[in-house]
Amino acid sequence: MRFEKDIILFINKNLFEEIKLCVEKASPNEACGLIFGKIQEQQKPNSEDEYSYYYYGYKFECIESSYKSPIAFLMDDYMKLIDISKKYSKNFQLLSIFHSHPGSAYPSGVDIPYMKKYYESGINKFKHLIWTIINAKSKELNGYIFILNELKQISVQFKEN
């Protein structure tokens, strides 16, 4: 898998603590949630058409999986998802769908087709969606995004609150 260096997801330490609590609450099953925030586009120095994209995660919503399993999650309560999105829509946008894995922070064979499906859905808010996956044991957190029909890993960086 290739690494996309021009996209970075920044998460403050308080938000990361909320994510870890969500994982602990769901254990031994997979946890899931949504990260909301803002995207900043920044033109690269000495370039007219190259940009870097900085995703700033500010709010996290832990969502109880509709399918309790240590190897899968499901968010099928659409009304709940709509209500959560409305709660943040005035100040933030959906940046990431988050979930945990019991022993890795990498997309599974089940995850990748869903990531691609969202990318290809034609719905603008899903076009540049980051998928964050945390290793439930080590708390390693990785980010992934589909760009030009290719799944790439992105940098997830932690910042002070």
Residue 71: its pLDDT value, please? Answer: 67
DSSP labels, 94-140: EEEEEEEESS-SS--TTHHHHHHHHHTT--HHHHT-EEEEEETTT--
Structural domains present in the chain: 2-159 (3.40.140.10)
Report how far residue 156's alpha carbon sits from residue 134's, in angstroms, rounded to the nearest whole number: 11
Contacts of 43 (CB under 8 A, 6+ apart): 50, 51
Residues 18-64 have pLDDT tens digits of 999 999 999 998 999 999 999 999 998 888 889 999 999 999 999 87
- Say how many C-beta atoms besides its own lie within 10 A of residue 92's C-beta: 18
Cβ-defined contacts of 40-44 (< 8 Å, 24+) = 44/6
Angstrom CA distances, 144 to 116, 152, 154, stand at 11, 6, 6
Residues 59-117 have pLDDT tens digits of 999 987 766 766 666 666 656 767 887 888 889 999 999 999 999 999 998 889 888 88
Q: pTM of the predicted model, to two decimals? A: 0.90
The residue type found at 96 is S
Residue 75: its pLDDT value, please? Answer: 67
Asked if residue 139 has pLDDT above 70, the reply is yes
Asked if residue 16 has pLDDT above 70, the reply is yes
